[in-house]
Chain A
Amino acid sequence: MRLGVLCSGGKDSWYACHLAMQKEEVACLVSIRSGNEESYLFHTPDTHLVPLQAEAAGLPLVTAQTDGIEERELDDLVRAVRFAKENFRIGGIVTGALESVYQATRIQRVCRDLGLWCFNPLWYADPEQYMQALVREGFSAVISGVAAEPFTAEWLGKRIDEPALAELRQFAARHRITLTGEGGEYETLVLDAPLFRKRLVIEDAEREYNEFRGVLRVKRARLEAK
């Protein structure tokens, strides 16, 4: 089956894409750029880099802009997914949803209404096993946003590797955060993945941070050979 992968640029959508490629044919990515940083549905930091990631992966990209107003952003999603269905002949959508019933419910309904299959290969995945697999399998994801104690500004831009994962485990144990960032405690940007032919290099970025909330604003990035 030809599939479109909903891609925010973060670890969950790229790992879901990686899993989908092992079973089916990924025909395109679908990315929604939201003007609302508080969007419940779409991850926001650095979605402007998804086109560069798509190029790195050699995958066509369908993008749509949304003002991110609750429920109206669904119309923008429908528009993008319908375009992917008509132009890339996809039979289904893949998401990186982990446990968000809000997100899954809305995307399932969109797929049902458009006659598409919906795949969520990370749904209720074991957090520890998933994060270990991500690191072990060569995904290079950096923290692109934080929104919870005890994340300091230094976390913005930090790569999720074994030492970072060990710290995240401690955070999860001591604070009310999830290991995967499922609750929006942190967001990620994927710079490299097994399915990438090239890797992203951040050339210029700025940290915006105040009281445990912050984003990494990537101003310039490029691709380099692997």
Chain B
Amino acid sequence: MILLVDLCREPGSLSRDEFVGPVARIVERAGLPWRGIHFARAGTADLAGVSGIILCGTALQDNLFAERVDEMAPLFDAGLPVLGICAGMEALCIAFGGSIRPASEIGMTRIRREAPDPLLGDAGEFDAYELHSFACDPPAGWVTTAVSDTCVQAARHPDLPLSGVMFHPEVRNDQVVERFCAFCRESGSADRRG
């Protein structure tokens, strides 16, 4: 089961279907069940049966989550694979000691891979949909795996299964979410084999 975390400013907002819905449909097509929660309820989230967590994006003007990253700490401490998408990457970045700064990109953008990243595949360059008003300066020690002309586009923790992408893979780059789901399925199976 994948836990989809809604980072929009309030539960059940008009933005929810725009940022959580498309990711949910990719997870479904990958053959995994999912459950959604709003980030404000992360502290009481039931993580039983959860094999991975995806932090979804928000509207361009919606940056409230960045002031409330502490509330998401239980999700980061659970030892589960986490994929942060756009706002989700910013949340991961802040939570692990990195920072965000104003930098906007909107629309299809050329992405260059800088280091191996199982979620990004083998392509050296690809196009991806951007919708952000802030960019990440990743935490110390994190590996920057892709960049655009404007900012870091993908980064991962050096040891833990924590990754973030600044672009929106749910638009024309489904395979990033699919690879994350495959990883969660495999790591979940390995855990059960123990």
| Chain B 103-134: CB-based contact to A (< 8 A → 1; otherwise 0) | 01011100000000000000000000101010
Inter-chain contacts of B13 with A (CB < 8 A): 23
Contacts of A109 in B (CB 8 A): 106-107
**B171 CB, nearest partner CB in chain A, Å:** 7
CB contact between A105 and one of B18, B107, B172 (< 8 Å): that residue: B107
Taking the nearest CB of chain B, how far is it from the CB of A5, in angstroms? 11
A124: which B residues are within 8 A, CB to CB? Answer: 21-22, 25, 170-171
A121 at the interface (CB under 8 A from B): yes
Contact between chains at B108 and A105 (CB < 8 Å): yes
A94 to B59, CA, bound (A): 12
Across the interface, which residues of A come within 8 angstroms of B131, CB to CB? Answer: 108
Cβ B170 vs Cβ A118 within 8 A: no
A122: B residues at CB distance < 8 A: 17
User: Taking chain A's interface residues, is the majority helix, strand, or loop, or is none over half, making it mixed?
Assistant: mixed
- Cβ-based interface call for A180 (8 A): no
- List A contacts of B14 (CB < 8 A): 19-20, 23-24, 94, 119, 121
Contact indicator B17/A126 (Cβ below 8 Å): no
The distance in angstroms between the C-alpha atoms of A106 and B153, with both chains bound, is: 21
A101 near B17 with CB under 8 A, answer no
Instruction: Give residues 115-148 of A contacting B (CB, 8 Å).
Output: 115-126
Q: B171: which of A92, A101, A111, A126 is its contact (CB, 8 Å)?
A: A101
Is B59 touching A117 in the complex (CB atoms < 8 A)? Answer: yes
- In the assembled complex, which residues on chain A have CB atoms less than 8 Å from the CB atom of B170? 124
Please tell me if A112 contacts chain B, counting CB pairs below 8 Å.
yes
Q: Are B15 and A112 in contact (CB under 8 A)?
A: no
Number of A-B contacts (CB under 8 A): 60
Contact yes or no, A101 B107, CB < 8 A: yes
The size bracket of the interface on A is: 20 to 34
A169 to chain B, nearest CB (A): 18
Contact A101 B129 (CB under 8 A): yes
Which parts of B159-191 form the interface with A (CB within 8 Å)? 170-172
Assess whether B61 is in contact with A117, with CB atoms less than 8 Å apart: yes
Decide yes or no: A126 and B104 within 8 Å by CB, A24-B14, A118-B59, A120-B18 being known contacts.
Answer: no
Q: Mark B79-107, 1 if CB is under 8 A from A, else 0.
A: 00000000000000000000000001011
Docked complex Cα distance between A81 and B171 (Å): 26
Which of A101, A117, A121 interacts with B172 by CB under 8 Å?
A: A101
Nearest CB in chain B to that of A109: its residue: B106
Q: Report whether A123 and B22 are in contact in the complex, using a CB–CB cutoff of 8 Å.
A: yes
Cα of A126 to Cα of B28 in the assembled complex, Å: 11
Q: Most B CB atoms within 10 A — which of A111, A116, A118?
A: A118
Interface set of B (CB-CB < 8 Å, partner A): 12-15, 17-18, 21-22, 25, 59-62, 104, 106-108, 129, 131, 133, 170-172
User: Could you give 10 example pairs across A and B, Cβ below 8 Å?
Assistant: A19-B17, A101-B129, A112-B133, A117-B60, A119-B18, A122-B17, A123-B22, A124-B21, A124-B170, A126-B25
Closest 9 CB pairs of A and B: A105-B107, A124-B22, A23-B14, A123-B18, A117-B61, A119-B14, A108-B106, A120-B18, A121-B17
4 new A-B contacts at CB < 8 Å, known A117-B61, A124-B170: A111-B60, A111-B61, A124-B171, A126-B25
